[in-house]
Amino acid sequence: MAAAVAVLLALSACTVSAPAARRPSHPPKPHATQTPRALPTATSTPTPVGFDKSAHSVDDPNSIWVVVNKARPLNPIDYTPPTLVYPDVTYVNRQPMRPEVADALVAMFKAGKAEAGLDFSVQSAYRSFESQTRVYNDDVAQHGQAYADTDTARPGHSEHQTGLAVDISAVPAKCSLDACFGTTLQGAWLSANSWKFGFILRYAEITAPITGFTYEPWHFRYVGVPLANELHAERVNTLEEFFGVPGGTEYH
């Protein structure tokens, strides 16, 4: 095991690019699908017995299970979480998140460091209705609305507005907000282990027709450990499929 970790540390010392403050100013180039490298992981958490899908609301924006997508806007559409905090982690953009997300994120980052010698930073977290409006409008101005609607959620339809979503980058920075993040050591470790801490990779490569958004290996959504474990155990890739709620690529 020590030898494996040493190899991982050596790999993570490769040349990196400077951290990006936001999405690239041009559409990402097509990329070849690659299988993430295997990394050491902690012992799996047992799957809950008799899982109760009604334990939390999927409609209430205060719920950690709220499902927001193109077909399901937040209600109210300009929702703001009641409490937001800044965890003691490395930031690219200093943005807050809900307390339960912060606690889980700190634990996950510490585990990644302890298990594999990896460091992470928060690229983006909570964005207000007004902030999401600016991000979306900027994407439309640069790339057109058709492209923006595959890449950036309209205000009121964004998981970032719930305070439950976190965009994560590698430290040192590599493939920030780019599909190639999924092939980095940090991206591979998060994909394999985030469920143990209550996070899911929200926009996987094969789920775009369901979630409505293209592959984002950096975007992790907090749903709590019980639900994340259940999704992992049942091999269900989306909240839409698990809860039987609408999704898709068209705004309603």
Asked if residue 21 is part of any domain, the answer here is no
Asked if residue 33 is part of any domain, the answer here is no
Alpha carbons 31 and 182: distance in angstroms, whole number: 11
Number of domains the chain contains: 1
The rounded mean pLDDT for the chain is 86
HSE at residue 37, side-chain half, CA atoms within 13 A, is 15
Asked if residue 10 is part of any domain, the answer here is no
Cβ atoms of residues 246 and 72 within 8 Å = yes
> What does the pLDDT look like over 223-240, one tens digit per residue?
999 999 999 999 999 999
Asked if residue 201 is part of any domain, the answer here is yes
Asked if residue 9 is part of any domain, the answer here is no
Asked if residue 45 is part of any domain, the answer here is no
Which residue would you say has higher pLDDT here, 178 or 36? Answer: 178
Asked if residue 129 is part of any domain, the answer here is yes
- Rounded to two decimals, what is the model's pTM? 0.80
Mean local confidence (pLDDT), 8-18: 37
Give residue 39's pLDDT band: very low, low, confident or very high (50, 70, 90).
very low
In three-state form (DSSP H/G/I as H, E/B as E, the rest C), the secondary structure along the chain is: CHHHHHHHHHHCCCCCCCCCCCCCCCCCCCCCCCCCCCCCCCCCCCCCCCCCCCCCCCCCCCCCCCCCCCCCCCCCCCCCCCCCECCCCCECCCCCECHHHHHHHHHHHHHHHHHHCCEEEEEECCCCHHHHHHHHHHHHHHHCHHHHHHHCCCCCCCHHHHCCEEEEEEECCCCCCCHHHHHCHHHHHHHHHHHHHCEEEEECCCCHHHHCCCCEEEEEEECCHHHHHHHHHHCCCCHHHHHCCCCCCCCC
The candidate with the shortest Cα–Cα distance to 27, out of 252, 169, 182, 177, is 177
Asked if residue 98 is part of any domain, the answer here is yes
> What does the pLDDT look like over 187-201, one tens digit per residue?
999 999 999 999 999
Give residue 71's pLDDT band: very low, low, confident or very high (50, 70, 90).
very high
Take residue 194 and report the two structure tokens written for it. Answer: 């985030």
Buried b (16+ CB within 10 A) or exposed e, 198-207: bbbbbbbeeb
Domain range holding 110?
54-243
CATH number of the domain within which 217 lies: 3.30.1380.10
